[in-house]
């Protein structure tokens, strides 16, 4: 994967940072035995996925590569 540019976009970084904050919130409230805070952390994680997806659709994500055309010739 060293040759790829996977995840090096503003959309990916933003989504991961928001999700990481959600994991930290959920973890803290798990230790505190507070289910409402735990659920709030899960909601933050989902928001991170949504924000990352929206940013990708807005053009801040990695542009898809066009696949290489097949070199195989059709058989007759």
Domain boundary assignment for the chain: 10-60
Give per-residue pLDDT as tens, 16-38. 999 999 999 999 999 999 999 99
State pTM to two decimals.
0.75
pLDDT computed for residue 41 by the predictor: 97
- pLDDT given for residue 76 in this prediction: 57
Measured distance between the N- and C-terminal CA atoms of the chain, rounded to whole angstroms: 39
Q: What is the DSSP letter of 12?
A: H
Nearest Cα neighbor of 61 from 19, 9, 1, 17 is: 9
Task: Check residue 15 and give its pLDDT.
Answer: 93
* CB-based contact 19:51 (threshold 8 Å): no
């Amino acid at each position: 994967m060293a040759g790829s540019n996977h995840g090096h976009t503003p959309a990916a970084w933003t989504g991961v940072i928001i999700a990481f904050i959600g994991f930290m919130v959920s973890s803290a409230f798990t230790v505190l035995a507070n289910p409402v805070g735990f659920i709030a952390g899960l909601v933050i994680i989902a928001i991170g996925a949504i924000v990352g997806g929206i940013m990708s659709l807005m053009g801040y994500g990695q542009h898809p590569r066009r696949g290489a055309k097949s070199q195989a010739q059709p058989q007759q």
